[in-house]
Amino acid sequence: MLTLRFIPYNEIHALSSYDRIKKIVDLAKEDQIILIEGKLKKTEEVELIKRTMEEISDKFKGIEIAEVNPQENKDVQFFQKVKDEVINFLLGDRIGFTVIGPATIVKEIKQDPNKIQLLTKDKKK
C-alpha cells in the first residue's frame, strides 16, 4: 500500500531543524511519501541528505526529494512577485511544496516549476 503523508506548515514551523529532519527521516523509513507545505531551508536539505546517508541499510535505501516553487515561473508580473515575497516574509516559507519519498518506493521524480511527476516502483519485484 502506498501512503502519502501531508505535513502542513503549522505542524513543522515550530520544530527545530534537527526535529524536522528526524520527523522526515522517520516517516520515510516507514515507506511513506511526504508532501510538505512550503520548502526546507537549504541547510536543512543538506542535513537531511547527510542524515539519510547515515541511516541507509538493507531495508532503507535513502530518499528522493523535489520542490515545486511557483514563484520561479518567469511569466509572473513584477507586482505579483513583490506581493508573494511580502506574504512569504510575513507568514513563513509557505510558498511551494516539497515531496520526499523513500528510494525503495520512488523510482523517479520529474519536476518543472509548476508540477511534479512522481513515478513509483512496484514493491513486489
User: Looking at the DSSP assignment, which residues form a beta bridge with residue 97?
Assistant: 37, 68
Provide the percentage of residues in the chain whose pLDDT is more than 70.
Answer: 87
pLDDT at 34 over 60: yes
Q: What is the mean pLDDT of the chain?
A: 84
pTM comes to 0.78
Q: Rounded CA gap, 83 and 60, in Å?
A: 42
Residues 44/20, Cβ–Cβ less than 8 Å: yes
pLDDT at 73 over 60: no
- Can you tell me the mean pLDDT for 51-56? 93
CATH assignment, 3-120: 3.30.950
